Chain A
């Protein structure tokens, strides 16, 4: 968004703000996105749009999903990393189209129907504690991990952590995607079950466990959080898998029944704008999608570092299969069967 447009929007917003009985322009964002991580982005938005009173509600993915269709006033903007659930909501018609220059220019692979936009580019990583490397060669690929879990299961017993597919939408999605690539994934699940891996509901808990020494090895962590954590906690090493690395995108859409659609459009436009993406790339670890943005955290830089092994979870209708109840049941059944095999 060019500054000129910002001024126009600000002017319109001011006009709206001048309406009697309304001091400011509220905007409700329901997000499965840590406030601490995204704080610079929100600050930049508030600076660019001082007239909008941003109400950012940080929740879990499943809570966010409930809010979309729940009773009570609808949120203006919905952000979540649980991609299949976001996609299902859009398919149900809960999103309204964003018709703006930013939306049109957004890369095809990171949007659907111009209604929902993947605005971050977060690699999925493994993380291990330095202690691990004293005992064994740390894993660099999925196969390495499997080998370690089978060969060193006694040493790793109870010291491996990963997402709970039952309690985390992100975790479930990642495992589904893993299972799509290879059936050997189930051997990995069985091996993790054998090592009595601990299932956590979010990346933060896993990272804390690793820092505390409870865990030595974590699988399928959000790279965005892990990389920041590793900078502050030198005992934690982040490993981008060398065979393939999934990439997750936060998906944002404007709610169909948004009470403040104009503000919602401004917010989304800001997320997609060069300015917003520049903040994402420079001040958050969320990685910018835009190729024209330069900073430490950009999809382009990640590609340069990791190579072609990045496999973004496709943002298309195939995601809907993951939320199919029967398919989910079947997956969870299999998961349980493999995980609890012993």
Chain B
């Protein structure tokens, strides 16, 4: 049997239609449970201010915002957000786009949010599909130019930097990451350093990159976001160790990342497993490598680029182990879900027998 069929089904979920639209603005914070409802009264690059029905207005730093719902927003936006969170990016993009068409005299905040959501989703898709890079960059640049004072501003810079990096445009990437580093929050600054170090790595400046990663690793993390950046830096360090063929050290470091990073930190976890898989593969531990890559396929498939990478390796490894059926399965998945990724292209270039 593939899956116990009643999993989640007996969750006593009724078949009632989805809840009606919100009757007020609402902000959900990363650092606290529950949402704050009221009227959003201010929206800047660094914070949102919300005035609850009773009590004083609350200013929420942009880096602590998990999600925002706007008064009068269409219910479909919730579905789109759900799809995006679940990694169903194409469907999410489609729903966001449709929702944008149904907005009836939206406030500027809602309008900008939907626009950013569309750009963000396109960017996520583009990170695993090079053909979408220009489109994503264009959308994010358009958002940036119109919404420089929006709470999504720095998040937009992070994505832009990543997109430019994927497009192999280091200058523009560097500009975006430098802007990111100007954010008033430590985790964003750490992220900026990490991205910069990665660019150094791409440019084969290993020592400089290692120093940059070490500087982040040496920083004290006061919250999960900052800890996540520390882990990112450790991942970068592991990459350097791998490139130096210090596989054992790299594996230990990666195990450390896997154990210390939040299990819900999909990006860090996904990369840690992919890198772990690389090391194990290089050590000739094919089965262990498969297990590492499978973590991404099973648990962190929302990290599209890394998912595509793990599928590529899985296809080759299954084939190597004589599991032709499984190799075909992962190959098909890679080609269907990431037809334009560099990994799918690499696979197409590989001899059929090697690729399953």
Query: Does A associate with B in a complex?
Result: no
Residues in chain B within 8 A of chain A (CB atoms): none
Residues in chain A within 8 A of chain B (CB atoms): none
